Amino acid sequence: MLRVIAAVPAPTGRTCHPSGPKTTVKPLYRRSIGPRTLIAALVALSLLALVLPSRTTEWIGRPVQLMAPFHSVVTRLIGLVVADSNPTSDPDDLANQDGQRESARLRHQVATQQARILMLEEENAVLHGYRASGLSGGRLILARVIGRDSLAWRHSILLDEGLSRGIRPGQKVITSHFVDVGRSGGVDVGMSVLAGEALLGEVVEASSRAARVRLLGDVESRMAVVIARATDDDAEVLDVLFWMTGSQEGRMIIHDVDHKYLDDGSIRVGDLVLTDGRRDSLPISVAVGTIVQKDQQHQNRLLYNLVVEPAVSPESVQQAYVVNMTE
């Protein structure tokens, strides 16, 4: 007897069913991007941008500048709401804060005046066009801080004024914390204002209605400074130039300080750091910050690095003056 063996076809995705053939549809899976994947991608992009030159990454912050006028309005409205909702501060606390600001202002003024005298003695040029009320052709442009840098590795702030108000890259920016001048379209650059306030940084980019200011604590910030010991009524400036740069922590570092200045007490923790009025674009020396730490170098035990705390915390700055010496 012959036996007929039927060939069984390979599975085709159809299954037999008593009521007729039925097609089995395989489920379609969609792979979503989880938070870990997103964070890893952002970290990778940040690391890539960190090693690239700054000129190739500046475009990232430009969209933020386009929103500056709208952000400024929203910030002011929020400030009014918060001011109305918060209870009145303790008068004793307000008086204490005013006293601290006044003491700091006096220390800044005494130190800068002493540095000014030293500069004039070295240059043998009496006054150099100096007037008691200010400098000819200069003005302060008051601007509000409307944001911080969108790139985490840069220390900078965004102002709500720009080219339309005379702000240009390279101009210095000082605090509006110690001396109450009041907002106006531009006031004469008074020595009392410059001497009483402190340097924040420098304008590095400006559009019509916004400007980005590189803070002193940024890693790309570099400048020559002098060191002074100041009280409310006296100051002594050390006639030696030092080199200061920013750091990743937002503080500043004075590099390669000879041990002799610390051994003989010429430099101490608590001393005031000033700009060099002879080489800086500002007309006089301006306070930068205070020495808060001294670190002996491991490679050379005869040299120290000095850690400098900014005179005003950048996080607390709500408005600042841009110094325009060209108008």
CA distance 278 to 223: 12
- The residue ranking higher by pLDDT, 317 or 294, is 294
Q: Is the pLDDT of residue 168 over 70?
A: yes
More confident residue, 83 or 299: 299
pLDDT value, residue 79: 59
Task: Please report the pLDDT score of residue 185 as a whole number.
Answer: 41
Residue 37, pLDDT score = 76
Q: What is the mean pLDDT of residues 182-199?
A: 61
Say if residues 185 and 139 touch (Cβ distance below 8 Å).
Answer: no
Split at pLDDT 50, 70, 90, the class of 52 is: low
Cβ pair 200, 175 in contact under 8 A: yes
In this prediction, residues 179-191 reach a mean pLDDT of 50
Of 32-36, 275-279, 283-287, 293-297, least confident by mean pLDDT is 32-36
pLDDT at 30 over 60: no
Least confident stretch, 137-146, 180-189, 218-227, 273-282: 180-189
pLDDT digits (tens, 9 = 90+) for 202-213: 999 999 999 999
pLDDT of residue 132: 35
| pLDDT at residue 284 in the model | 82
Q: Pick the more confident residue, 202 or 11.
A: 202
Looking at every residue in the chain, the average pLDDT score rounds to 74
Most confident of 21-30, 72-81, 125-134, 180-189: 72-81
| Residue 183 pLDDT grade (very low, low, confident, very high; cuts 50, 70, 90) | very low
Q: Hey, what domains does the chain have and what are their CATH numbers?
A: 92-218+314-324 (2.40.10.340), 222-310 (2.40.10.350)
Banded model confidence at residue 107, pLDDT cuts 50, 70, 90? low
Q: What's the rounded mean pLDDT across residues 39-60?
A: 63
pLDDT more than 70, % of the chain: 55
CA of residue 218 relative to chain centroid, distance: 7
In this model, does residue 222 exceed pLDDT 70? yes
Q: Is the pLDDT of residue 308 over 50?
A: yes
**How confident is the model over 234-263, as a mean pLDDT?**
91
Is the pLDDT assigned to residue 323 strictly greater than 80? yes
Could you tell me which residue, 325 or 87, shows the higher pLDDT? 325
